[in-house]
Structure 1
Amino acid sequence: MLKKTFLSRTFILSGVIAFAIINSSCEKTETISTQPYDDGVFVINAGNFFDNNGSLSMIARNSQTVSFDIFLKENNRSLSGGITDYSEVDQKGIILVDNSTDGKDAIEIVDAHTFKSIASIKGEVDNPRKIIKAAANKAYITCWDTFNADYSYKMGFVAVLDLTTNKIIKKIPVDKGAESIIVIGSNAFVGNVGSQKNIKVIDTQKDEVVSSIEVGENPSDFVLDASNKIWMIAANEIVLFNPLTKTIDTKFKAGMNEKKSPSNLCISKDKKALFFNYNFYDATDGYKLKGEINTIDISTGASKVFINRTFTSVAFDSESNQIYTSLIPSYKQAGYIFRFQNSGVLIDSVKTEIAPSGFYFK
């Protein structure tokens, strides 16, 4: 029995052609020794949702060398679902697996250096979305929960993962469509894509929601600037939120085209510029994804087209000072990664696996 259909802007399926947008995680981890997976760029390949064939591959920064389906390679079994996120917390890699059948979503935990399996958690989460470190040996995982019969969102939750026992120890109720999450000090800020206007603030010591703040519809795609303030997308605007005062400092228009929506917000290495996809699905042309990558100068708020090509996702690698983008031809064939200099000049392209949708920079 099929579990759900993605109707959010994160996953939109239309026949064979589909596109997936998933924010990237740019958190670095400490390298203990030279291992196969200690340096490089992980590609989160969502796979075809109904084929449950998502995977993780790794690209070398200084070459076009790609290691395909590294979980299968190291563990002799597949992940059996679409992959929505990958991140690392305290030397452990955490993979979120979204299976098309009810009750089969999973969290896979691996050794971050060897990618050997440590634990599998099944039946504890529904529609897992994003991972972040909440404290020592503790991770937060945002979840949409299952859908209602009409495919509308139920209330979401944040699953608390104890990495000493590798178990979910609590579920914190938040808004519908729980998605982006960022931690500053002892507070976690949770956004959503469920047509809600608030972000929830969680006390990471108590694992409880302590406040709810209105910032604009669908607050998501959180990134931190040099002042530890949060940039986000809300109601088709780029919003700067001050986590200390719990207020909005400023808002920028993403652009002037009402058909297009910003997504995949990321920030440059020098923290002076924002980059994002500015795309739309063209109803007059078979709902093909069209658009470009835009940039905003943080000091002036001026927005302009940065790369005049359509991509599914965009992320900034601070290690190499390069821009990574992905392109999904369809959910039935391999996708591609394109790397650009921070000036916008194309470096190269690399073939990867089905539906490359996000990155983890290690």
Structure 2
Amino acid sequence: MINTYNRMKTRIISACALVAASIGTWSCNQSDPKPKGDYVQGVFVINEGNFSSNNGSLAFFARENTTAEADIFNIVNGQTLKGGIQGYAVSDEKGLILVDNSAAGQDEIQIVDANTMESLATIGSPDVENPRNVVVVDDHTAYVSCWGTTGTYPNFFVSNGYIAVVDLASNSIKKRISVAKGAENMVYANGQLIVGTVDYSGVNTLTVINTATNEVAKEISMIAAPNPIGADASGKLWVQAGLQVFQIDQASWINEKTITLSTDASKSAGNFALSNDKQTIFFNLSYYDANYVSQGQTYAFKVSDNAVDLSKPLINRVFTGLAVDPLQGLIYGAVTPSYAQAGYAVRYRTDGSVVDSVKVGIAPTGFVFK
């Protein structure tokens, strides 16, 4: 998730002309097509946008700044992304933006130059339909989880999900791996791709993909829809399912530890993030009040712990996205005041104290660090 960006293509295309008498010297400069930002190092914010409005965007800011560039794809390419933004991931050279349009057949993967945000290629329907999450494993290969074609309530998931294997050399899909319905979050850990499912899919299968063969290596039944979190400092895989998290040994696939996050069935756990030293896990525990407004707190526990102290929330609020900067170790919380206005990226120290906030786009849900 960490990348590099360099740009500024401004060039002088007309010489300076000496104009007579008192007018003096004119210097005529023109950009091509206009000055572009420097995206070599900093923070990208995934702004999903309003439901069905297709107004998602990527924002960017340098770590030392408190002002973000909004909708950077539009700034560089002169066009919006035309959908809700579900994910962004980068290799050294390329970035992949997942665009989920509210209209069937309009979803796409937008491939950009990771150093300039300039559009390089587009992979659209039918190769991708309802893209949900993207993981780049090296400079050659990325994986995109997709729901595939969906139906209407109550039969929303009418087909299996799949993992689209993206060849970054040719900017094309080289394989589709069939997985469970509602394929959602993924992590790449210890040479394997771990795929979870979304809660309302009704599927509780954790899928393990061998990235050397791009074949399903294992399917593991969980107590609820599984959400892979990542590998800790000792290489153990953490997976959330319902109100529990599990520490799993990937060599044997034995569950070595179970931690209950809450016994209150009205609450749900989400937005898990590992600290930069992989020793602590942060998460939200939330519920909806009578006005259907999300309420709750952010907690933390050590991977060596056997329980979570719910009497001591780290931050007394919940977020629409949560991440930790692997470079600085700061916690980033995404705040969505409404789906009709810009949201915020709020930065915290690991003790829960606030550093600052940055205004970003509509409905921020995730962060990518370079």
TM-score, normalised relative to structure 1: 0.88
Distance 1:213 1:47 in 2: 34
The one-letter code matched in structure 1 to 2:3 is T
1:350 aligns with 2:350: no
The one-letter code matched in structure 1 to 2:368 is Y
SS of corresponding position for 1:307: coil
- Larger Cα Rg: Structure 1 or Structure 2? 2
The one-letter code matched in structure 2 to 1:296 is F
SS of corresponding position for 2:73: helix
The one-letter code matched in structure 2 to 1:131 is V
**Which residue matches 1:51?**
53
Does 267-276 or 179-188 show the bigger shift?
A: 179-188
SS of corresponding position for 1:74: helix
Shift of 1:320: 1.4
**Which residue matches 1:162?**
167
**Which residue matches 2:192?**
187
- Residue deviations 1:68-104 (CA, integer Å, cap 9, x gap): 1000001001100000000002410100000000000
Following superposition of structure 1 onto structure 2, how do residues 92-241 of structure 1 map, counting pairs within 5 Å? Answer: 92-123=94-125, 124-150=127-153, 151-153=155-157, 154-193=159-198, 194-241=201-248
SS of corresponding position for 1:176: coil
Shift of 1:181: 1.4
Distance 2:332 2:266 in 1: 25
Q: Which structure's relative contact order is higher, taking Cα pairs within 8 Å and 6+ residues apart?
A: 1
Report percent identity of matched pairs.
39
Indicate if the aligned counterparts of 1:215 and 1:248 stay in contact, CA closer than 8 A.
Answer: no
Indicate if the aligned counterparts of 2:97 and 2:109 stay in contact, CA closer than 8 A.
Answer: yes
Distance 1:68 1:311 in 2: 20
**Which residue matches 2:265?**
258
The one-letter code matched in structure 1 to 2:61 is I
Aligned residues: 334
Distance 1:95 1:31 in 2: 16
SS of corresponding position for 2:74: helix
Shift of 1:48: 1.0
Indicate if the aligned counterparts of 1:134 and 1:188 stay in contact, CA closer than 8 A.
Answer: no
Distance 1:346 1:199 in 2: 36
Distance 1:186 1:310 in 2: 32
The one-letter code matched in structure 1 to 2:115 is H
The one-letter code matched in structure 2 to 1:246 is W
**Which residue matches 2:320?**
312
**Which residue matches 1:29?**
3
Distance 1:276 1:252 in 2: 13
Identify the structure with the greater strand proportion. 1
Query: Compared with structure 1, are the counterparts of its residues 215 and 260 closer, same or farther at alpha carbon in structure 2 (3 Å cutoff)?
Result: same
Indicate if the aligned counterparts of 2:67 and 2:359 stay in contact, CA closer than 8 A.
Answer: no
Shift of 1:33: 8.7
Does 351-360 or 264-273 show the bigger shift?
A: 264-273
Indicate if the aligned counterparts of 1:135 and 1:204 stay in contact, CA closer than 8 A.
Answer: no
Does 151-160 or 167-176 show the bigger shift?
A: 151-160
SS of corresponding position for 1:110: strand
SS of corresponding position for 1:308: coil
Residue number among 336, 341, 345 corresponding to 1:333 in the alignment: 341
The one-letter code matched in structure 2 to 1:187 is Q
Following superposition of structure 1 onto structure 2, how do residues 13-92 of structure 1 map, counting pairs within 5 Å? Answer: 27-29=1-3, 36-92=38-94
**Which residue matches 1:13?**
none
Question: Which 5+ residue runs of structure 2 have no aligned equivalent?
Answer: 9-36
Shift of 1:272: 2.0
Indicate if the aligned counterparts of 1:49 and 1:81 stay in contact, CA closer than 8 A.
Answer: no
1:298 aligns with 2:303: yes
Does 184-193 or 343-352 show the bigger shift?
A: 184-193
